[in-house]
Structure 1
C-alpha cells in the first residue's frame, strides 16, 4: 500500500511575466502558455507513473485556476483550492488534488493566522471586546511600519492557508496537507510561529493517523523554523515574545515532530529546490525551501531524483517552468 506525494510551487504568472522581474531569464520561457505545457507534462508523468498520486500546489493563481480545474477533471481528480491573497498578487493561494477513486473522509482549509488568534488562551472574553479588536486592528496596521510591534500580531494578520484532506488508502486513513509559508525569513520569530502552528494543527486534524505536510516553507534546513518542525524541544522560546498583556504564549507542542522524506531517503535534504535571479536580489538565490514532511506508520520507498546543482543563470528556463523544482516521494503505509 503506497501513495505518491508531489509538491510544486508553480510560480505566479503575474510574477513570471512582470517585465524585468526575472532579469536573466529569456522572455519566451516566462510566458504562461510555455510554462504550463512543461508543468502539465511533469504532473502527467507523476500521475501516470504511480498509483494514488496526491498533488500539493503552491502559488496557485486566479489566472491558471480554470486551466488547473480542467486538467485535473480530465485526469479524474478532485481539486481543492484556496486563493487567499489580493488582486495585486493574482489571488495567490494553494491547492490539493486527489484521485477521485480515493474515498474522501475529510477536507478543510484553515487560515493559520486566524487559527492562532482563536486558540491563544489570553485572547478570551476580555481581549475579544470591541476595544481589544480596535487595538489589534491598529497594531496590525502599524506592524509593517513599526518593527518593534509584537510579531504575534503580524503572524495573526497573515492570510496563508493550510489545506488538508483525509483519504482512505486500501481501507486505511491518511491525511495530507499543503502550506505555503510566509516569505519572512528576515523575521525568524514569525517563521517559527507559522511553522509550529501548521505542524501542530496537522497533528490535531490527523488525530493519531499518519499524515503528510508538504509545500514551500520558505525556510532552509539551517533555520530555526525547520528545527521547530523536525526536532523535539527546538521551538526557540527566547526568539518568541509573549502574547498579549497577560504575558501568555501560545503552547506549541515541542514533542510532536515530523520527518522529511528526502532526508530519510538520502540522508540529507536536496542541495536546492529554488533557483532564481530577480531584480529584488543583489545576486542569485539557490537554496532548499520545499519539503515533504510526514509522520506515523509510513516509510519512504523512493523520492524523485533532483539535480545536485542548477544549470544556467536562473529559473525559469527552457526546461524548468518555475523557479522551484517539483518534489515527489512514494510513501508506504506499514
Structure 2
C-alpha cells in the first residue's frame, strides 16, 4: 500500500474491520490522505466495512455520500413484513446449521414469491461515493466503492445481487449527475470494489451495460433480472467498462484465491473490478495479474499476499470537458 500512496493513488478497500480501520486511519493521516470509512458488519466479522482514501494535496473533495443501498430503494418494492411460514432451518440460521453439521446445507430456492427482495433488503452493505477535483483544474469526477453481498447459487440469491447492483448503479448515476444548487456538472465515474460476481454472469452484464435490464434480458438472463423493473432505472447510456478488460483485452484469470475451512478445494475466480464510464476517462496503465495458478503461490492469504484478494491497480486519464 505504501507504493500506492507514494504514487498518490486513490485507494478503495473492502472488508476492513474495526481493528484495521483505526490503524489505516493513522497510516493515511500521516501521509496526507483523507479517509472515509463506512461500516455495516456484525461482531462475527469485526463490524467490517469499506474505506476510501485520497491524497489531499492532489485532489479536492467536493462532495461525499455514505449510504446503505437497500435504504435507497422505494419502500413500495420491499415485501410487507408478516409472520409468514416457518424459517427454513427452524430457530437456526444457515450459518448456525452449517457449524453443527460441519458442512453447508443444500441450497434451496425461494419459499415464496419475493424471497429475493427480502434477502436484498436484509443486507446492510454500504457504499461510499466521492466527488473529487484534481487541484488546479476545473474537472470533476466521481469515485465510489462497494462490497457486494456474497450470494452465490440459487436464482433467488442471484436476483438479490442484481437488486443491489441496480441500486448501486442508480445511486452512482444520481451522485454523478448535474446539481445546480451545488454547482456540479455531469461527471465521469470510477467504481471500485469486491463485487462477488464472476465475468459473464447476469450481474456482471448488468453493471457492464450500465444498468440496462433489457440488454441483460436479451443476453439470455431474463429470469435473473426479473422484477428489477420495479426499481427506478437510471442508466449509464454508454455502459461501464472494466479497466482490466479494457486494457488487457480480457478479465484476469482470478482476483480471489482462497481456501475456506469447510472446502477441500480452493476457490479461484475473478470477483474484483475497477469499472469506469467511457468517454472522458481512459485507461493508460493497468498492472497485470498472474496468468496461471501455479505461479501465484496460492491460496491466499500467505506470507507474500496478506489478503485472499489480489489488489487491482489502474491509471485512468481524465480529459477536459468537451465544450463543442
Q: 1:164 is matched with which residue?
A: 129
Q: Give the 5 Å matches for 1:101-120.
A: 101=57, 102-116=59-73, 119=74
- Relative to structure 2, which stretch is displaced further, 207-216 or 254-263? 254-263
Q: 1:238 is matched with which residue?
A: 223
Q: 1:138 to 1:174 in 2, by over 3 A?
A: farther
Contact preservation (8 Å) 2:14, 2:50? yes
What is the distance in 1 between the residues matched to 2:280 and 2:151? 33
Contact preservation (8 Å) 2:170, 2:235? no
What is the distance in 2 between the residues matched to 1:99 and 1:312? 33
What is the distance in 2 between the residues matched to 1:293 and 1:271? 17
Q: 1:138 to 1:46 in 2, by over 3 A?
A: farther
Can you give the 5+ residue segments of structure 1 that lack an aligned partner in the other structure? 1-42
Q: Give the 5 Å matches for 1:179-190.
A: 179-186=146-153, 187-190=157-160
Cα displacement string for residues 150-187 of structure 1 (whole angstroms, at most 9, x for unaligned residues): 21121112101110111112321111000000000222
- RMSD across aligned positions (CA): 2.4
Q: 1:107 to 1:141 in 2, by over 3 A?
A: farther
What is the distance in 1 between the residues matched to 2:225 and 2:145? 25
Q: Give the 5 Å matches for 1:1-334.
A: 43-48=1-6, 50-51=7-8, 53-101=9-57, 102-116=59-73, 119=74, 122=76, 135-136=80-81, 138=83, 147-149=110-112, 150=114, 151-169=116-134, 170-186=137-153, 187-207=157-177, 208-231=186-209, 232=212, 233-234=215-216, 236-242=221-227, 249-253=230-234, 256=237, 257-295=239-277, 296-310=279-293, 311-334=296-319
Task: Tell me the SS of whatever aligns to 1:70.
Answer: helix
Deviation of the 1:76 alpha carbon? 0.5
What is the distance in 1 between the residues matched to 2:275 and 2:85? 31
Cα displacement string for residues 268-289 of structure 1 (whole angstroms, at most 9, x for unaligned residues): 0111100011123231111100
Can you give the 5+ residue segments of structure 2 that lack an aligned partner in the other structure? 95-108, 178-185, 320-324
TM-score (norm 2): 0.78
Task: Tell me the SS of whatever aligns to 1:195.
Answer: helix
Q: 1:239 to 1:47 in 2, by over 3 A?
A: same
TM-score (norm 1): 0.76
What is the distance in 2 between the residues matched to 1:141 and 1:302? 53
Q: Which fold has the larger relative contact order, with Cα–Cα distance below 8 Å and residues 6 or more apart in sequence?
A: 1
Task: Tell me the SS of whatever aligns to 1:136.
Answer: coil
Cα displacement string for residues 62-87 of structure 1 (whole angstroms, at most 9, x for unaligned residues): 11111001000011001100111111
Task: Tell me the SS of whatever aligns to 2:313.
Answer: strand
What is the distance in 1 between the residues matched to 2:195 and 2:303? 26
What is the distance in 2 between the residues matched to 1:223 and 1:262? 17
Contact preservation (8 Å) 2:68, 2:125? yes
Q: 1:147 to 1:264 in 2, by over 3 A?
A: same
Q: 2:106 is matched with which residue?
A: none
Q: 1:171 to 1:58 in 2, by over 3 A?
A: same
Cα displacement string for residues 224-275 of structure 1 (whole angstroms, at most 9, x for unaligned residues): 10000113521544324548xxxx7224345642111011101101111000
Q: 1:242 to 1:174 in 2, by over 3 A?
A: closer
Contact preservation (8 Å) 2:37, 2:50? yes
Deviation of the 1:312 alpha carbon? 3.0
